[in-house]
């Protein structure tokens, strides 16, 4: 007969695995490699107030509280990527561990696509310092980048905040955009990444969205001509850049030249911070750091029911 005064058996929760596992869970092993965020430009290159890269570190930290975060820049003397990586190498050599870690650092480039100047600076710093580092993919292409651009456009009241889905795609006022140009910087690969983001953004907004390189005048002319041919009279430039890859003044000048408006760059927000954390988690999975523990790795159970036989 079941006794009502007995406590129910305690069930140990199982860690979900497979495609339903939370990729941002941070119940990881102690000793995961440091996370280095590398931003294009210099630490003193911001003229609009707060440094977006510093804000990005603050936003990423809650997603990866188990590891140390470092911020580096591709230019300038302060916090240059070579200096930051060199400090990590010195720290590794000073600890004199018996067994070497799989890598000294995981580097995440803070750019929306394959921005060649940023990637080249990272490669040069890795070679110069001899650090055992792994470099992740840039933030894009990634489906959440389209969400982040949508957010910036909505903040400027150029589009609806929610998805238009099956409702009328006609803009309800003269301030709403009827066409969007996703601007990239960094070369053909960056343009291809912006093209993927443009397709996803068009599906969200229900208006014509085209990619173009902000640093290619001929391509910009062609893209705006295509928007005009599609009936767009209120185009908006959505810069698919994160920080200092292209100045805000240059974006404003381009918008004025082509009779368009411009939303803010991606910058630091919870969406881009989450992508950074995901890139780090993807690299840890590649390194095998986040493999699930075996029975031998689990601590021995304690309590009166698990006492050793005398």
Task: With beta carbons less than 8 A apart as the criterion, state whether 183 and 212 touch.
Answer: yes
Residues 6+ apart with CB under 8 A from 258: 220, 221, 224, 235
Do 28-139+269-290 and 143-262 show the same overall fold?
Answer: yes
pLDDT of residue 12: 40
CA gap 267, 112 in Å, rounded: 10
Torsion angle of alpha carbons 247, 253, 255, 256, nearest 10°? 160
CA gap 70, 34 in Å, rounded: 7
Pick 28-139+269-290's CATH classification: 3.10.450.40, 3.40.50.720, 3.40.50.1400, 3.40.50.300: 3.40.50.1400
Domains of the chain, residue spans: 28-139+269-290, 143-262
CA gap 283, 136 in Å, rounded: 7
Distance from chain centroid for Cα 41: 17
Q: pTM value?
A: 0.80
pLDDT digits 0-9 by tens, 118-155: 999 999 999 999 999 999 999 999 999 999 999 999 99
SS3 179: strand
CA gap 137, 38 in Å, rounded: 12
User: pLDDT below 70 — which residues of the chain?
Assistant: 1-31, 45-50, 94-102, 163-173, 289-310
The CATH number that domain 143-262 falls under is: 3.40.50
pLDDT digits 0-9 by tens, 215-249: 999 999 999 999 999 999 999 999 999 998 999 99
Sheet of 133-135, strand order: 69-73, 35-39, 105-109, 133-135
pLDDT of residue 263: 96
């Amino acid at each position: 007969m079941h006794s009502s005064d007995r406590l129910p058996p305690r069930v140990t929760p199982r860690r979900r695995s497979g495609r339903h596992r939370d990729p941002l869970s941070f119940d990881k092993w102690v000793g995961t490699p440091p996370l280095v965020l590398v931003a294009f430009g210099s630490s003193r290159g911001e003229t609009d107030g707060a440094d977006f890269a510093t804000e990005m570190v603050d936003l990423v930290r809650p997603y990866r509280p188990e590891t140390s975060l470092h911020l580096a820049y591709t230019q300038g003397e302060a916090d240059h990527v070579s200096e930051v990586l060199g400090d990590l190498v010195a720290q590794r050599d000073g600890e004199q561990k018996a067994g070497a870690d799989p890598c000294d650092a995981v580097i995440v480039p803070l750019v929306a696509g394959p921005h060649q100047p940023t990637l080249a600076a990272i490669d040069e710093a890795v070679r110069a310092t001899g650090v055992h580092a792994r470099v992740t993919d840039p933030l894009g292409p990634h489906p959440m980048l389209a969400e982040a651009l949508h957010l910036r456009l909505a903040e400027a009241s150029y589009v609806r905040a929610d998805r238009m889905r099956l409702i009328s795609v006609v803009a309800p006022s003269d301030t709403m955009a009827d066409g969007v140009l996703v601007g990239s910087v960094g070369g053909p690969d960056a343009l291809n990444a912006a093209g993927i983001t443009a397709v996803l953004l068009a599906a969200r907004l229900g208006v014509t969205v085209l990619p173009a390189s902000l640093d290619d005048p001929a391509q910009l002319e062609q893209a705006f001509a295509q928007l005009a041919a599609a009936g767009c009279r209120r185009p908006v430039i959505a810069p698919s850049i994160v920080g200092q890859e292209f100045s805000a003044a240059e974006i404003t000048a381009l918008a004025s030249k082509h009779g368009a408006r411009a939303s803010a760059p991606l910058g630091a927000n919870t969406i881009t911070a989450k992508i950074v954390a995901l890139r780090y988690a993807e690299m840890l999975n590649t390194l095998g750091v986040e493999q699930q523990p075996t029975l031998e790795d689990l601590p021995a159970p304690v309590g009166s029911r698990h006492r050793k036989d005398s």
